């Protein structure tokens, strides 16, 4: 899709960790979807986004989602392909609506992969829950930028973010940036972010039971991202995305 | 089965084991007792091959009797109590291996089991998945075919039942949210499923109440008391030895075995303390 906008710069907070050199090569013809989704009051949708673009590709997908009263949207994102893969979700919640997001960022080499969300609790009583797990090897960069905006009268908002990253090499980079902008006073906003490495003691435990190093690492990483896609109700769809994630993990080892 | 000679090992450059010599034959249970800091856990980790535990001198030779794992003749039943017959090979006739040259997972596939003092929690992975993958990795290393999910569950259920371990707990993530006692029981369930030749059990009795102690003790006897298996039981206290009768008791102090004897030595230690006996 062609964009009329100027090429973003690093000064823009939302593009601060992006691979702008890769982006410049394709600008203004940026591959990827720009989609606007409106979920009517009381209805619900589930979307599964598997970004598995070929090596070297640049892909930017933007989703603008508006949820009506008591509507529900669930997004499950596997971001693992391309040189630069960026997925943005701009979500606005009406009263009593719920937004659920489970994301896995699995990168290696010199990949830059990011998930950028902006969730606006525009009316009272809406809830959002976001879980992101990143596993990064080589010189890859994985970023999650998650902004929560709570409007003045959006009382009883309940917004939660859980972000964890695992670095397989000291040369990889993880960015986790939760951001809260709250104008109401009776709200619950929780966020937690951690960056870590594989637990050596646990790897030895697995090895002592007979698992070779690569198998032990794979199992631990599988455990690390477990749960991200649990909410997918359709078993076949869930298994398909989990299998894709496990295949991507194997590529990191 | 296991021959440790003049073993010296250090952790972070600090010498811990200082010339430890010890031999275990097939069919024997040895207890190692000793005060805190004597090097008991270091010995266990060195035998298991934990990174960071550096051997600076000495050797460890491992001679597994026959391939470990499920008993021959039955594809997925496990060792029955006292399954060994007296005329069975006592089992020091296999190939003598340089244990220290092997990776931890290779040691496991050859029949070494390390029971952890502090079993590790692994979120997101069920016990069942972990153990099935571990067992099948071992089987693969030995040139055996993998167990199917159904076959594995049969083995797992049998071991869990015998250790009073709820099957539901086997479906939960490895050790996550388990009490100290449950973790130790889980170690024994794992040992039963894996079926090792040589078990090195590092303070398997710590954190156990009296009932759990009995269950774990019975488990060790049932799984490991056989003419072709051996156990190195590392413990602080005498009480586990009420349930698992050792053939030999050794006192480890300052990185060396300072006394060896029969079961009566454990009682003497309990009565008189390490300071007295190790002096």
Q: Which residue of chain A has the CA closest to B133?
A: A211
On whether any CB of chain B is under 8 Å from the CB of A192, the answer is no
pLDDT of res. B256 = 95
On whether any CB of chain A is under 8 Å from the CB of B258, the answer is no
pLDDT of res. B184 = 92
B188 CB neighbours in chain A (<8 A) are: none
Mutate to test the interface with B, among A210, A212, A219, A224 (most CBs of B within 10 A): A210
Q: How many interchain CB pairs under 8 A, A with B? A: 80
Q: What does the mean pLDDT of chain B come to? A: 88
| A208:B114 CB<8 A | yes
Q: Check whether B80 has a pLDDT greater than 60.
A: no
Q: Check whether B151 has a pLDDT greater than 90.
A: yes
* Confidence label for A41 from pLDDT (cuts 50, 70 and 90): very high
Q: Check whether B92 has a pLDDT greater than 70.
A: no
* Confidence label for A88 from pLDDT (cuts 50, 70 and 90): very high
pLDDT of res. B50 = 97
A227 CB neighbours in chain B (<8 A) are: 124
Q: Check whether A191 has a pLDDT greater than 80.
A: yes
Q: Check whether A243 has a pLDDT greater than 50.
A: yes
Q: Check whether B86 has a pLDDT greater than 70.
A: no
Paired strand residues for B4 = B22, B60
On whether any CB of chain B is under 8 Å from the CB of A213, the answer is yes
Q: Check whether A1 has a pLDDT greater than 70.
A: no
Query: Mind listing the pLDDT tens digit for each residue in A57-66?
Result: 999 999 999 9
Share of chain B above pLDDT 70, in %: 89
pLDDT of res. B67 = 59
Query: Mind listing the pLDDT tens digit for each residue in B100-114?
Result: 999 999 999 999 999
ipTM of the complex: 0.90
Cα of B274 to nearest chain A Cα, Å? 30
Pick from A200, A205, A220: which is nearest to B116 by CB?
A205
| A209:B108 CB<8 A | yes
Pick from B103, B124, B134: which is nearest to A223 by CB?
B124
Q: How far apart are CA B172 and CA A200, in angstroms?
A: 22
Query: Mind listing the pLDDT tens digit for each residue in A126-169?
Result: 999 999 999 999 999 999 999 999 999 999 999 999 999 999 99
Q: Which helix (H) or strand (E) holds A150?
A: strand A141-150
pLDDT of res. B64 = 85
Cα of A202 to nearest chain B Cα, Å? 6
| B134:A210 CB<8 A | yes
pLDDT of res. B234 = 95
| B134:A206 CB<8 A | yes
Query: Mind listing the pLDDT tens digit for each residue in A207-221?
Result: 999 999 999 999 999
Closest CA to B18 of B57, B53, B51, B44: B57
| A200:B51 CB<8 A | yes
Tokens of B73: 């003749």
| B124:A224 CB<8 A | yes
Q: How far apart are CA B145 and CA B69, in angstroms?
A: 12
Q: How far apart are CA A23 and CA A8, in angstroms?
A: 9
Helices vs. strands in chain B: H and E counts, helices first: 9, 12
B164: left (phi over 0), alpha (psi -120 to 50) or beta: left
| A210:B135 CB<8 A | yes
The matching CATH number, chosen from 3.90.1580.10, 3.40.47.10, 3.40.50.300, 3.30.420.300, for B2-120+196-278 is: 3.40.50.300
A226 CB neighbours in chain B (<8 A) are: 123-125
Q: What does the mean pLDDT of chain A come to? A: 95
Q: Which residue has the higher pLDDT, A87 or B267?
A: A87
Give the residue-averaged pLDDT of B132-160: 93
pLDDT of res. B87 = 35
Q: Check whether B274 has a pLDDT greater than 90.
A: no
Q: Check whether B60 has a pLDDT greater than 90.
A: yes
Q: Which residue of chain A has the CA closest to B129?
A: A219
Pick from B108, B125, B131: which is nearest to A223 by CB?
B125
pLDDT of res. B164 = 87
Q: Check whether A94 has a pLDDT greater than 50.
A: yes
On whether any CB of chain A is under 8 Å from the CB of B51, the answer is yes
Write out residues 78-137 of B within 8 Å (CB-CB) of A. 103-105, 107-109, 113-114, 116, 119-125, 129-131, 133-135, 137
Find the Cα–Cα–Cα–Cα dihedral B80, B243, B175, B173, rounded to 10°: 20
Q: Which residue of chain B has the CA closest to A206?
A: B134
| A210:B123 CB<8 A | no
On whether any CB of chain A is under 8 Å from the CB of B158, the answer is no
pLDDT of res. B239 = 87
Cα of A77 to nearest chain B Cα, Å? 19
Q: Check whether B176 has a pLDDT greater than 60.
A: yes
| Lateral strand order in the sheet of A187-196 | A44-51, A72-79, A98-107, A127-136, A157-167, A187-196
pLDDT of res. B66 = 63
Find the Cα–Cα–Cα–Cα dihedral A216, A75, A84, A172, rounded to 10°: -30
Return the domain boundaries, chain B: 2-120+196-278
Query: Mind listing the pLDDT tens digit for each residue in B189-228?
Result: 999 999 999 999 999 988 888 888 999 999 999 999 999 9
Q: Which residue of chain A has the CA closest to B131?
A: A209
Alpha-carbon torsion (B98, B104, B110, B111), positive or negative = positive
Q: Report the residue count for chain A.
A: 253
Cα of A73 to nearest chain B Cα, Å? 25
Cα of B45 to nearest chain A Cα, Å? 10
Q: How far apart are CA A166 and CA A176, in angstroms?
A: 12
B51 CB neighbours in chain A (<8 A) are: 200, 204
């Amino acid at each position: 899709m062609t964009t009329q906008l100027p090429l973003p710069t690093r000064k823009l907070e939302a593009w601060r960790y992006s691979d702008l050199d890769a982006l410049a090569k394709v600008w203004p013809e940026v591959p990827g979807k720009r989609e606007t989704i409106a979920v009517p009051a009381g209805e619900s949708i589930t979307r599964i986004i598997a970004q598995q673009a070929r090596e070297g590709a640049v892909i930017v997908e933007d989703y603008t989602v508006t949820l009506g009263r008591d509507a529900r949207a669930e997004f499950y994102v596997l971001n693992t392909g391309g040189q630069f893969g960026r997925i943005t979700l701009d979500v606005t919640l009406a009263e009593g609506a719920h937004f659920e997001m489970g994301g896995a960022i699995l990168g290696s080499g010199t990949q830059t992969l990011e998930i950028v969300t902006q969730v606006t609790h525009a009316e009272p009583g809406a809830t959002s829950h976001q879980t992101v797990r990143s596993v990064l090897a080589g010189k890859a960069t994985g970023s999650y930028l998650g902004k929560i905006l709570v409007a003045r009268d959006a009382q009883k908002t309940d917004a939660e973010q859980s972000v964890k990253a695992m670095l397989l090499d000291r040369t990889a980079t993880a960015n986790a940036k939760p951001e809260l902008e709250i104008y109401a006073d009776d709200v619950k906003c929780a966020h937690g972010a951690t960056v870590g490495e594989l637990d050596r003691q646990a790897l030895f435990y697995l090895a002592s039971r007979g698992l070779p190093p690569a198998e032990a690492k794979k199992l631990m990483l599988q455990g690390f991202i477990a749960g991200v896609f649990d909410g997918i109700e359709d078993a076949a769809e869930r298994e398909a995305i989990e299998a894709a994630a496990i295949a991507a993990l194997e590529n990191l080892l | 089965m296991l021959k440790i000679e003049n073993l010296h090992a250090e952790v972070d450059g600090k010498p811990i084991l200082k010339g430890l010599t010890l031999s275990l034959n097939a069919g024997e249970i040895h207890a190692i007792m000793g005060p805190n800091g004597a090097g008991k856990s270091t010995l266990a980790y060195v035998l298991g091959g934990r990174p960071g535990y550096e051997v600076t001198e000495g050797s460890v030779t491992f001679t597994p009797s026959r391939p470990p794992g499920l008993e021959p003749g039955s594809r997925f039943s496990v060792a029955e109590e006292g399954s060994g017959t007296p005329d069975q090979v006592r089992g020091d006739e296999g190939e003598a291996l340089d244990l220290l040259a092997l990776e931890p997972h290779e040691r496991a596939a050859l029949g070494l089991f390390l029971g952890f003092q502090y079993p590790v929690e692994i979120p997101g992975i069920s016990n069942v998945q972990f153990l099935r993958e571990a067992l099948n990795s071992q089987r693969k290393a030995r040139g055996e075919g993998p167990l199917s999910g159904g076959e594995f569950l049969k083995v797992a259920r049998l071991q869990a039942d015998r250790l009073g371990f709820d099957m539901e707990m086997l479906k939960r993530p490895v050790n996550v949210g388990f009490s100290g006692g449950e973790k130790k029981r889980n170690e024994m369930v794992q040992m039963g499923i894996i079926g090792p030749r040589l078990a090195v059990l590092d303070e398997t009795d710590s954190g156990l109440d009296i009932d759990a102690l009995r269950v774990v003790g019975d488990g060790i006897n049932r799984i490991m008391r056989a003419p072709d298996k051996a156990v190195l039981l590392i413990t602080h206290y005498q009480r586990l030895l009420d349930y698992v009768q050792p053939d030999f008791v050794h006192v480890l102090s300052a990185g060396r075995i300072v006394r060896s004897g029969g079961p009566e030595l454990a009682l003497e230690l309990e009565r008189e303390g390490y300071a007295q006996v190790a002096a």
